[in-house]
């Protein structure tokens, strides 16, 4: 799984390991965080390994897939949690910031999805990550939502392109989720207001999102295909 060292990524790694999967925790920056996720998985009796790479570079990602196949014999589930979010009104956003998001969120998803389409075994699943912001139309999120709209388009079309392969392709679209990245820079009043927006009146947790991914990754979710699942407590 890409972005496995992040808050949601780490929770997904632990949940899939609890399902009995051998998990590859991909990371781009923080080896220490990725290794901490691996240690938490192995401490619970699971199997995990951390591997680096730039999701937007086909050569590096091909090497990662090669390493996974050599170590574990094949690829059954690919989860794309890697992504970055930079916020500003469209009229004020620097093009460099938009290009950075596009490189990771769109090009990175394209590269990894393409490899997944070629490598996933029958019965497998590709799970990309969108965001509930694509439906909320919140100011300052235009550039970020645009990249995730592209992810949704690729996901839905690829599900139809893989007809006959017995491979599902879906996207998970989290709402506001209590990760360190979300909380950073926000006061308690703002966080409380965001939490109250959902009918369930709380923020999501990384574990909430991980449960959605787990469902899509297991045989129980294999009849779900070509969908965007909004895991957001009803906020959108």
d(CA 13, CA 11): 5
In DSSP terms, which residues pair with 215 in a beta bridge?
none
Question: Euclidean distance between the first and final Cα of the chain, in Å?
Answer: 26
Half-sphere exposure of 177 (CA within 13 A, CB side): 23
CA angle (40 as vertex; 37, 43 as ends), nearest 5: 150
Residue positions annotated with a catalytic role: 144
Q: CB pairs under 8 A, 24+ apart, for 31-36?
A: 33/5, 33/6, 34/4, 34/5, 36/5, 36/10
């Amino acid at each position: 799984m890409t972005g496995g060292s992040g808050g949601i990524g780490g929770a997904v790694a632990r949940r899939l390991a609890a399902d009995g999967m051998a998990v590859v925790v991909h990371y781009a920056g923080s080896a220490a965080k990725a290794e901490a996720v691996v240690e938490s998985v192995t401490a619970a009796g699971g199997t995990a390994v951390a591997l680096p790479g730039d999701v937007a570079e086909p050569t590096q990602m091909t090497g990662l897939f090669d390493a996974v196949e050599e170590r574990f014999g094949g690829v059954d589930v690919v989860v794309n949690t890697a992504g970055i979010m930079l916020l500003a009104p469209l009229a004020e956003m620097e093009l460099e910031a938009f290009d950075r998001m596009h490189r990771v969120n769109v090009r990175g998803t394209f590269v990894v999805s393409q490899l997944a389409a070629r490598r996933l075994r029958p019965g497998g699943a590709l799970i990309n990550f969108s965001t509930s912001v694509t439906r909320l139309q919140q100011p300052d999120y235009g550039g970020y939502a645009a990249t995730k709209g592209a992810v949704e388009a690729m996901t839905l079309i690829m599900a139809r392109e893989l007809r006959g392969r017995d491979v599902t392709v879906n996207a998970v679209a989290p709402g506001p989720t209590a990760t360190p990245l979300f909380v950073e820079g926000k006061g308690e009043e703002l966080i409380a207001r965001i939490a109250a927006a959902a009918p369930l009146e709380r923020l999501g947790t990384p574990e909430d999102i991980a449960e959605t991914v787990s469902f899509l990754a297991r045989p129980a979710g294999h009849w779900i295909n070509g969908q965007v699942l909004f895991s957001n407590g009803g906020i959108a």
